[in-house]
Amino acid sequence: MRHIVAFKYTDGATDAQIQQVTDAFRALQHKIPGVVSFEHGVNNSPEGLNKGFKHVYVVTFEDEKARDAYLPHPEHKKFGALLEELGILEDAFVIDYSLTE
Average pLDDT for the chain: 96
pLDDT at site 100:
78
Nearest to 62 by CA among 79, 39, 37: 37
Q: Percentage of the chain surpassing pLDDT 90?
A: 97
Listing DSSP states for 30-93 in one string gives HHSTTEEEEEEEE---TT--STT--EEEEEEESSHHHHHHHTT-HHHHHHHHHHHHHT-EEEEE
DSSP letter (8 states) at residue 29: H
pLDDT tens digits, residue range 54-99?
Answer: 999 999 999 999 999 999 999 999 999 999 999 999 999 999 999 7
pLDDT tens digits, residue range 22-63?
Answer: 999 999 999 999 999 999 999 999 999 999 999 999 999 999
